[in-house]
Amino acid sequence: MRPLSAASVARRQGVVRLGLLAASVSALCFGCGKPVEQRECDQMLDRYVEFLMHDQEPDVPFEEVRRKQRAARAKAESSPEFAACTSQVSRKQYDCAMHAPNADRLEQCLVF
């Protein structure tokens, strides 16, 4: 077996370091992609309903918003689409939706 040149050893060490770096970044970012929980899906639905209510009637009473939110949650319980929220909505989409300034932007967060 022929001895490796210094350049060859350095290249291999670089590849190993790059691999370790990639593995470390992946491990660190695993927590960044934490799945969305059901309570977060419920919060997102509540936010969306609130936006829609205020779009229709800016001075809608708080109690009316809460009533509509409860009704929306009850309806969502039987929705296969909403049931898939925890597996279909990414953490990035959720964060975007929860920072959206209005219903239109919230919808965009979930589509793109």
pLDDT tens column, 9-23: 444 444 334 333 333
Q: CA 85 → CA 44, 50, 56, 59, 60, distances in Å?
A: 10, 19, 26, 30, 28
Instruction: List, in order, residues 6 or more apart from 51 with CB less than 8 Å away.
Output: 100, 102, 103, 106
Residue 25's pLDDT band, with cuts at 50, 70 and 90, is: very low
| Per-residue pLDDT reduced to its tens digit, 75-111 | 999 999 999 999 999 999 999 999 999 999 999 999 9
Would you place residue 112 in the very low, low, confident or very high pLDDT band (cuts 50, 70, 90)?
confident
pTM of the model: 0.69
